[in-house]
Amino acid sequence: MLNRALRTLDADTIINMGFFLRDLHQQIQQLYEQQFGAYGGQSFIVYRGQGFMKSDFEKLQKTKGGLMSFNNFLSTSKKEQVSLSFAKDASTKPNMVGILFIMSIDSTIKSTPFASVNELGYYEAKEDEILFSMHTVFRVDEIKQINNKNQLYQVELQLTSDDDEQLRLLTNRIRKEASGSTGWRRLGNLLLKIGQFNKAEELYNVLLEQTSDEGEKALYYNQLGFVHSNQGNYEKAIEYYEQQMKVQQKTLLPNSPYLAISYGNIGGVYDKIGDYSKALSFYEKALELQQKTIPSNRLHLATSYSNIGSVYYSMEEYEKALSSHKQALEIYEKALPSNHPDLATSYNNIGSVYEKMGKYETALSYYERAHEILQKTLPSNHPHLAASYNNIGSVYDKMGEYEKALSFYGKALEIYENTLSSNHPHLATSYNNISNVYYNMKNYSKALSYLEHALDIFQRTLPPTHPHIKAVKESIETVKNIKMNT
């Protein structure tokens, strides 16, 4: 039950079994320290047999050479045939692939504790079981078919060391993004960062029910607003943000900077639904309050300038947008290291304005500066990298370099398909982008196909009057008319 809860991120079970999780991890750690000398610094092999859904196995095949984490307590065996039998059983089930993991373990690596549990496990010595603590990370090596059977594969894994550069960069990034004063808050932030919004909602609802502290309630209302905003439930998002503000207005001073953050959040929802005048009003309230209460070089000010610039961009007031984004960039360049992701966001924002103004070479320069930062600081399948690929693809499209445009748009789409839900608006935007290129190449059949994919998602996630829906419908009619007359 526990491993299932960890795999599916079942918030209720994880919360209720939190003490057990800690105790089990500590017990494995103690056994590891007691048994460490028995390994003599030697490497050894363990095995694990299990089933994967075919769709998940296809994703695994794409990660060859990359990192793989097991988000549960990992039971393995030193006996290959025992594990292979589990893989074979799984391979007989519909839509399943049987996987035999062959795991090379360097016993000197201390990144994750593991222990022999022969004397403690249910099967005693029958399986010769080695139990790893949660979130053991491996590097994926060879993936091979076993005996030419379509449903049965072996996957070779190497336990990662503490000095693995890719793992270190990824871990540091996740720790920064998933910060929080308690473990539950860090878990919630991590769920938000990896796009597990349904799981985050479950967690925050449980935490909200359990607290009587007004400050904590305000935080959880804010996080639930963020969840619903990212799920496309914009009215619900505004409700939660307004509940947060009611609590804050009772507990905070009238000029508290935290109120400015709430104004910005509400403005962000109105921005997403295309109500730009309301969005601008809330963003300007946030900026006005921040200018009164925080130093001129604080990052929250830069965020407000960026938000205002984005609204002006949507309103096609590009000179005002450029001015606001450059004010944000000035703060970021003074306050942040040269490879900080927020700098990349600022470069992208300015690039997008120059693109709209028809200054494509300048736009491409800003986009490439942003992309260079993101490649250094993010994992290769991060959604921000996908957005960066989209930006560069867009400029190449406008410059008439269609093959380059398709290449960059295709990289973005691949990331979105592997990391986002099937009805996420970013996917729709990606389909729309690719459609534009095919339209410019006069391949109207493919253009129409991608437009229809985009419209389907937009109609499921946006209000009927949203400008994106109107624009895609108009594009579909245009393409259909051209096809009829050619």
CATH of the domain at 65: 3.90.176.10
Lowest mean pLDDT among 75-84, 104-113, 230-239, 283-292: 104-113
- For residue 7, which of 47, 50, 45 has the smallest C-alpha distance? 50
Most confident of 17-31, 192-206, 219-233: 219-233
Which tens digits make up the pLDDT trace of 243-260?
A: 999 999 999 888 888 899
- 28 is in which domain, residue-wise? 2-163
Q: What are the residues whose beta carbons fall under 8 Å from the beta carbon of 434, sequence distance 6 or more?
A: 406, 409, 410, 413, 450
Q: Are residues 220 and 369 in the same domain?
A: yes
Q: Are residues 342 and 457 in the same domain?
A: yes
Burial (Cβ within 10 Å: 0-12, 13-18, ≥19) of residue 451: buried
Q: What is the pLDDT of residues 106-154, one digit of tens each?
A: 887 777 788 887 765 544 556 688 888 877 888 899 999 998 877 899 9
Q: How many domains are contained in the chain?
A: 2
Please indicate, yes or no, if residue 302 is contained in any of the structural domains.
yes
Query: Directed axis angle between helix 234-251 and helix 214-230, to 10°?
Result: 160
Helix and strand numbers (H, E) in the chain are 21, 8
Residue 169 lies in a domain: no
Structure tokens at 383: 């959604």
Q: Is 172 part of any domain?
A: no
Residue 173, domain member (yes or no): no
Q: What is the pTM of this model?
A: 0.58
Rounded (10°) angle between helices 257-272 and 234-251: 170
pLDDT at 391: 94
- Domain membership of residue 168 (yes or no) is no
Distance CA 327, CA 349 (A): 12
> For residue 93, is it within any domain?
yes
Q: Comparing 378 with 22, which gets the higher pLDDT?
A: 378
We report the CATH number of the domain holding residue 287 as 1.25.40.10
CB 297 within 8 A of CB 305: no
- 158 and 195 co-located in one domain: no
Which pLDDT value is given to residue 3? Answer: 45
Let me know whether 193 and 143 are in one domain. no
Q: Are residues 81 and 221 in the same domain?
A: no
Tell whether 246 is covered by a domain. Answer: yes
Same domain, 317 and 445: yes
Give the pLDDT score at 444: 94
- 49, part of any domain: yes
- If residue 173 lies in a helix (H) or strand (E), which one and from where to where? helix 165-177
Hunting for tokens 């500066």 — which residue is that? Answer: 369
Q: Give the separation between CA 457 and CA 453, rounded to whole angstroms.
A: 7
Same domain, 73 and 209: no
Domain boundary (128, 163, 198) is at 163
> Where does the pLDDT of residue 5 fall: very low under 50, low under 70, confident under 90, or very high at 90 and above?
very low
* Residues 473 and 334 reside in one and the same domain: yes
